[in-house]
Amino acid sequence: MALITKAIRGTQDVLPGESHKWQYIEQTALSIARDFGFREMRTPVFEHTELFHRSVGENTDVVQKEMYTFDDKGGRSITLRPEGTAGAARALLEHGLNNEALPIKVAYITSCYRYEKPQAGRLREFHQFGVECFGTAAPQADAEVISLASHILKELGVTGVSLHINFIGCPACRAEYHKALKGYFESKKSELCHTCRDRLERNPMRILDCKSPVCSGIATDAPVMLDFLCNDCLKHFGSVKDCLDAAEIEYEIDSGIVRGLDYYTRTVFEFVSDALGSQAVVCGGGRYDGLIEELGGSHLPSLGFAMGLERILMVMEAKGVSFPEPPGCDVYFASMGYEATKRCFKMAVSLREGGVAAEFDTIGRGLKAQMKYADKIGARYTIVIGDNELYTGNARLKDMKTGEETDIKLDDSLYNVLFNKSIDRQLADVAKVLSTTTEVL
């Protein structure tokens, strides 16, 4: 029995008391992305395994060690998405979006699956907010995408993050770099882990991303890509930095960023938090100019980023950011007797059609228990209806915060009274959040 009442290791439930935080983060990110021209895209949770082999790369930890891959009942190899870019790129090609006005700008919220060792901020099922900007090679697009990530983090009150950027070249200069890396690691081949010895032949850059302490120790003194950039790449990197400077977005150059996925080219970046332990990267992204071609499309330089929503939430909580109160119950109808319950049901239905959050007793409890329940769910007002109220058409509206009671009529005027009170409450909530967000920033 224990097994079926326990979530799988590395997964988390979002309980009703927490879901408003997720909604706030997701809606804020989507709404800011919309201001930048990114529209939401949704893709399936699983794809053909081959898609991830071709995009994320055969030699990455993600593909070699972390994917949830299985054969479906038709014998096809299927993989739960370990990230969102591959699915977005596949959908772009499948639906011919690349033939529309460029750039194509999409945003998404996805669950992702990686068989990693769970720890604080590292899960096997986690969630990302991401964006992809397909069809631009211009350096100002790099700065624009970085500024979008920065804007979202700021708006959410994710303070104490620093932006690290690196430039990992194009296929032309990368070939020279690979030669130098190969030369460096060749002399230390016997010390490398089994996987990295194999990587040395296929893609030596992946050794830089190995999580084994021995390999990462050896990688510390390896040649850096920045010393091998061709003229085009140097120019592009210079312009990205220029644009970031113009927008006063602070960054540091970090030659250690290689990113764990093979599709990256040129600009790569990470936002690192001071509030998390070893899993401090809250957002990562970069260019992938060759990916669309690799998947069978034409040359379509593109870029994007994804932020880990669990990590964003952890930082917000660590920084004491306040979340907007989840909308609660505006009015609870407590009833005495079946006829009164029917009337409460009818009133709740019509009030809700007009946007007032109304509830009534759906268990058949006594009046005292109903009032206790109304208090527990934080009902703003209660109205008790029994035979007398049914007969006279009058009742009393009780303010559950102040205890104050007012006479009301059980007719259409009730809607106006409650609607105005509900609007007043919502405005007060918004004002409260705005004032706390400003304090945080």
Candidate ranges 42-50, 98-106, 308-316, 388-396; the one touching ligand HAM (CB under 6 A): 308-316
Interacting residues with ligand HAM between 207 and 266 (CB under 6 A): 260-261
Q: Which of 103, 169, 308, 324 binds ligand HAM (CB under 6 A)?
A: 308
Least distance (Å) between residue 124 CB and ligand HAM:
7
Contact map string, positions 175 to 214, toward ligand HAM, x by CB under 6 A: ----------------------------------------
- Indicate which single residue of 200, 240, 295, 307 sits in contact with ligand HAM (rule: CB under 6 A): 307
The residue within the footprint of ligand HAM, chosen from 304, 356, 361, 410 (CB under 6 A), is: 304
Of these, 57, 87, 103, 130, which contacts ligand HAM (CB under 6 A)?
A: 130
From the CB of 211, what's the least distance to ligand HAM, in Å? 12
Q: Which of 123, 173, 243, 356 binds ligand HAM (CB under 6 A)?
A: 123
Residue nearest to ligand HAM (CB): 308
Answer for which of 233, 306, 314, 410 binds ligand HAM (CB under 6 A) is 306
| 114 contributes a contact to ligand HAM by CB under 6 A | yes
In this complex, which beta carbon is closest to ligand HAM, that of residue 265 or of residue 341? 265
135 interacts with ligand HAM by CB under 6 A: no
Site string for ligand HAM, 53-92 (x = CB under 6 A): ------------------------------xxx-------
Q: From 171, 146, 137, select the one nearest 304 (Cα to Cα).
A: 146
Q: Which of residues 266-295 bind ligand HAM (CB under 6 A)?
A: 281-286
For the record, the structure tokens of 385 come out as 């209806």
Q: Of these, 126, 129, 333, 360, which contacts ligand HAM (CB under 6 A)? A: 126
Positions in the binding site for ligand HAM (CB under 6 A): 83-85, 114, 116, 121-123, 126, 128, 130, 132, 260-261, 281-286, 304-308, 310-311
